[in-house]
Amino acid sequence: MTRPERRNAVDGPTADALHEAFRRFVADADARVLVLAGEGEAFSAGADLKAIHTLRDRDEGPLGFTRLFSPKPTIAAVDGWCVAGGLELALWCDLRIAGEGATFGCFERRWGVPLVDGGTQRLPRIVGLGRALELILLGRAVDAREALAFGLVNRVVPAGRAVEAALEWAEILAGFPQETILADREAAIRGLGLALEEGLALERRLGWATVAVGREGALRFAGGAGRGGAGVPGGERPQRPTPSRPR
């Protein structure tokens, strides 16, 4: 989002550009992960209230794509203000990385602007109903550390490093076998509102469709690849030095 003079607030043309960028991402077979960020000192202040007349209730979502399902992983890289519709954009993403100094909140509460880009539905699914209602009803500010404690964000990094950290995670995700990571992601997301039995059936259908990839990966592991946690973020174990024999 590139409107730093407006804290990346979204007007009609920006919503159109976001929708078109998302459409290109979905259509590009070489693009495996989407990283959403804002230029300058803010992620996004949400809808541009000075140009709110340019936004419309499109089927895809007023801010561009917030009512659409992404078939591939998405990460929000949040530095600075992430409030109102900006928070709803971040909630749309699978993962959220925040820089120290980031601020989250449903600030539209002060002006009587409703949450119409998924916030009332995604926030309770991420942080629980009690915390979600606290933020939605009070409209209060939440800093990065409190957001991490809530489960609102997945990781906090030094200020200004959110995009860098998000790209690091994106490279990890893009490097995994895609068939299974996409199947597991879809089962987790689409199964959230299902009864357990229905969710297990969904997992079975999606997972077993990729079983050939899993078998090939198991053969690589059996052949010695990935031992000692290699390739798993934070899982690599240092090699123990060979003890010297007493003379």
Rounded Cα–Cα distance for residues 8 and 47 (Å)? 9
Structure tokens of 90?
Answer: 């971040």
- C-alpha gyration radius of the chain: 21
Q: Does 168 participate in catalysis according to the annotation?
A: no
User: Which one is catalytic: 39, 41, 60, 88?
Assistant: 88
Burial class for 79, CB neighbours closer than 10 Å (0-12, 13-18, 19+): buried
Phi, psi of 10 (to 5 degrees): -100, 120
Taking each helix axis from N to C terminus, what angle separates 119-127 and 129-138, rounded to the nearest 10 degrees? 140
User: Which one is catalytic: 5, 39, 60, 108?
Assistant: 108
Q: Which of 152, 61, 46 is nearest to 98 (CA)?
A: 152
Rounded Cα–Cα distance for residues 169 and 166 (Å)? 5
Tokens 């003379």 -> residue = 247
Alpha-carbon distance values, 92 to 36, 82, 135, 207 (Å): 10, 13, 17, 24
Q: C-alpha 125: how far from its chain's center?
A: 13
Rounded Cα–Cα distance for residues 92 and 198 (Å)? 24
Question: Residues 104, 156: contact at Cβ < 8 Å?
Answer: no
Q: Does 108 participate in catalysis according to the annotation?
A: yes
* Residues acting as catalytic residues: 88, 108
